[in-house]
Chain A
Amino acid sequence: MPQMNMVQAINDALRFEMRRDDRVVVLGEDVGKVGGVFRVTQGLFDEFGDDRVIDTPLSEGGIIGTAIGMALYGLVPVPEIQFSDFIFPAYDQIVSELAKYRYRSGGEYPAKLVIRTPVGGGIRGGHYHSQSPEAQFIHVAGLKVVCPSNPADAKGLLLSSIRDPDPVLFFEPKRIYRAAKGDVPDGDYMVPLGKASVVRQGNHVTLVTWGAMLYEALDAANQAAAQGIECEVIDLRTLWPLDIDTIIASVKKTGRVVVVHEAPKSCGLGGEIVALVNEKAFLHLEAPPRRVTGFDTPFPYTLEMEYLPLSHRILPAIIETARY
């Protein structure tokens, strides 16, 4: 199995699927000749030409609106939004149109496409290049939301997303685009949507996280282990619909849960997870569920490492929860 980073794995998935299915088209700003500002689509323009790898005018609303139209026609568009921070000019198309098409047309028009977009901070991008807006899309009925944490999952989840009958938002944690490396299965390889993975076993505290923060959670879990606290670490992979069974099974075992995410705390996905745990496993809880998250401020530039919920902030929450 070849070793790849996230960028290469996503590129590999796109190339594989574009070869397999000639309805798949990639469109967005700078995705063609330059291969995307993060080089994720590099080489696709040379192989598939500009009918299928399309540099568009600078308009996210235009990109998503036309991608919806292409999908209705029968293509399988994979639009790229250069940074998830710039998705908002297309918000209306995504939220009011894309997400609602199947429902509002009585199932006649199941518009489906996969919006790929880099997400998250830690790359000195300030607030317009660092946000984590996943909750704003999870709140919208009709969308699936995915966020891989490693190259193999990135490939497998992207192939599943492209073949899924529903619209998918595919958030790529850019902080680990090149830092996360690993073996990636050759050829066709799918990771099912809606299935979390338990990346570390433990009996004392359940840590729920995703994307780039997985590595911080693992780091904190290893430090906690040195103090005799064994964490079970769950990587959600698909943020919505949530793999609630995996979370509840783990909480029933540990009785304690800490959710870690980069997005602001209030009304974030962490809040939903805590609510679900309360609803479904209240009597198993030994401590109040905790959230370690970004703050309810815009994402800052200079102080970004203080903003992010890195391991030094996760560890005390684990210890307090374990000793509650």
Chain B
Amino acid sequence: MSTASYPAPSPAVSPAPANDGSVHPVARHPHDATAPDVVRALREDGTLDPKNDPGLRTEEVLSLYRAMVRTRLLDERLVILQRQGRIGFHIGSLGEEATILGSAFAMRQNDWIFPCYREFSAALWRGMPLQRYIDNMFGNANDPVKGRQMPDHYTWKKGRFGSVSSPIGTQITQAVGFAWGAKVKREDTAVLVYFGEGATSSNEFHNGMNFAGVFKTPVVFMCRNNGWAISVPTERQTASENFAVKGEAYGIPGVRVDGNDLFAVVKVTRDAVARAARGEGPTIIEALTYRLSGHSTSDDPKVYRPEAGLDPWRRLDPIPRVRQYLERTAGWSEAQDKQIEAEIDAELKAAVVEAEKTAQPSLESMFEDVYAEMPWHLREQRDELLRGTRAKGHGQH
């Protein structure tokens, strides 16, 4: 495993697979994002390539920028709360904000999103109140999933946003089936499904791609290639040239996009949705991005990943890139940054205070929703628990 050596900039054409039995790098170098097959819109000087310009209005860019900053600040705050032992866990999206928000933004109102686990910003974009998300982090009585799942395993059906599962890849076939349902009912609904590049090794990725290809379901596969599946680098995940190319085997067009370029992500996702809406079936998008943080708060990336490897990606940070665009087009200023940061900070603090003073889910609630109606054995077990003494530490988060 060659995690220590950060590969040299790849040539404009993707390298032929190495034949010496060694693992070859797969699309993880930032310069790969400049390869000719990778869609980019935002140029280095902050101007847009007219060929790939999705034509966003200034207010749209401004709200996306604000959402990206809010996502970043949330990530940072949640890590601190975890370190303080106030929440149990957080799995963030540091560095992947453009991939997630750009694609969520590009979906139409009727479309649905099937999440992996890093996409809280997509749930918030779809209208999940920040308070509900923070309640989930604390697993309290107002948590949309009633304190039953770990932090970052939320759901937001009102916003046509699915339910987060831990096991990798399971949402992929489900998204395909959901989209298939829309097709059967002749409804104009597409589904965006997120997963990491590690998930492309899972059983469900292959099942999902195969069914989607055969039945031409209106689904957009969004593979966030963030370089790592916990400690395992992309080149240990596949010997394919990249992840988009996997579509070929299933009869699905694959597109690679600079995942740190908000505009390009919007463009390719919109194109994929349009294709789905025309009845032409699925698209797989590989967004080249990078996990700037650890895998989650349980992970220490220093053990397997050299810090220096982050530098090129820090230079490609999606947030300053949008900011530069806004400076140029809308005269965005530092003072405005300060102002939105202060607003977000206040909003966040208030949500945490509120979540911390909200009670735990009730004991009875543990037995609810296992079935639509509670069978005798669960009633019996519930009553036995209620009659008994409480566990030590009950009543804390």
Q: Is A253 an interface residue (CB 8 A)?
A: no
Does A58 contact B198, Cβ atoms closer than 8 Å? yes
Does A297 contact B370, Cβ atoms closer than 8 Å? yes
Does A57 contact B201, Cβ atoms closer than 8 Å? yes
Counting contact residues on chain A (CB < 8 A from B), the size range is: 35 or more
Residue-wise interface mask of A (21-53) relative to B, using a CB-CB cutoff of 8 A (1 in contact, 0 not): 000000001101111010000000000001000
Query: Measured between alpha carbons, how far is A323 from B238 in the docked complex, in Å?
Result: 63
Does B230 contact A301, Cβ atoms closer than 8 Å? no
B:367-383 near A, CB below 8 Å: 367, 370, 377-378, 381
* B204: A residues at CB distance < 8 A: 89
Q: State the Cβ distance, A307 to closest chain B Cβ, in Å.
A: 7
Q: Is the interface of B mostly helix, strand, loop or mixed?
A: loop
Query: Measured between alpha carbons, how far is A313 from B363 in the docked complex, in Å?
Result: 15
Query: Measured between alpha carbons, how far is A76 from B284 in the docked complex, in Å?
Result: 39
Q: Is B11 an interface residue (CB 8 A)?
A: no
Does B238 contact A296, Cβ atoms closer than 8 Å? no
Q: Is A298 an interface residue (CB 8 A)?
A: yes
Stretch at the interface among A119-127, A159-167, A270-278: A119-127
Query: Measured between alpha carbons, how far is A62 from B229 in the docked complex, in Å?
Result: 16
Interface size on B (CB < 8 Å)? Answer: 52
Q: Is A88 an interface residue (CB 8 A)?
A: yes
* B210: A residues at CB distance < 8 A: none
* B377: A residues at CB distance < 8 A: 265-266, 296
Q: Is A185 an interface residue (CB 8 A)?
A: no
* A89: B residues at CB distance < 8 A: 167, 169, 202-204
Query: Measured between alpha carbons, how far is A85 from B139 in the docked complex, in Å?
Result: 20
Does B149 contact A126, Cβ atoms closer than 8 Å? yes
* A126: B residues at CB distance < 8 A: 148-150, 153, 166
Q: State the Cβ distance, B146 to closest chain A Cβ, in Å.
A: 8
- Closest A residue to B232 using CB positions: A55
Query: Measured between alpha carbons, how far is A312 from B154 in the docked complex, in Å?
Result: 31
Q: Is A197 an interface residue (CB 8 A)?
A: no
Query: Measured between alpha carbons, how far is A167 from B28 in the docked complex, in Å?
Result: 38
Does B231 contact A128, Cβ atoms closer than 8 Å? no
Query: Measured between alpha carbons, how far is A308 from B385 in the docked complex, in Å?
Result: 11
Does B1 contact A128, Cβ atoms closer than 8 Å? no
Residue-wise interface mask of A (57-72) relative to B, using a CB-CB cutoff of 8 A (1 in contact, 0 not): 1110110000000000
Query: Measured between alpha carbons, how far is A324 from B238 in the docked complex, in Å?
Result: 62
Stretch at the interface among B46-54, B264-272, B325-333, B387-395: B387-395
Cβ-defined partner of B366 (8 Å) among A32, A306, A310: A306
Does B89 contact A124, Cβ atoms closer than 8 Å? yes
Query: Measured between alpha carbons, how far is A266 from B153 in the docked complex, in Å?
Result: 27
* B388: A residues at CB distance < 8 A: 312-313, 316
Residue-wise interface mask of B (343-387) relative to A, using a CB-CB cutoff of 8 A (1 in contact, 0 not): 000000000000000001101001100100000011001000100
Closest 8 pairs (CB-CB, A-B): A128-B166, A302-B147, A126-B150, A57-B201, A34-B231, A305-B391, A302-B139, A58-B198
Taking Cβ atoms with an 8 Å cutoff, the residues of A that contact B are 29-30, 32-35, 37, 50, 55-59, 61-62, 85-86, 88-89, 124-129, 265-266, 295-298, 300-303, 305-308, 310, 312-313, 316
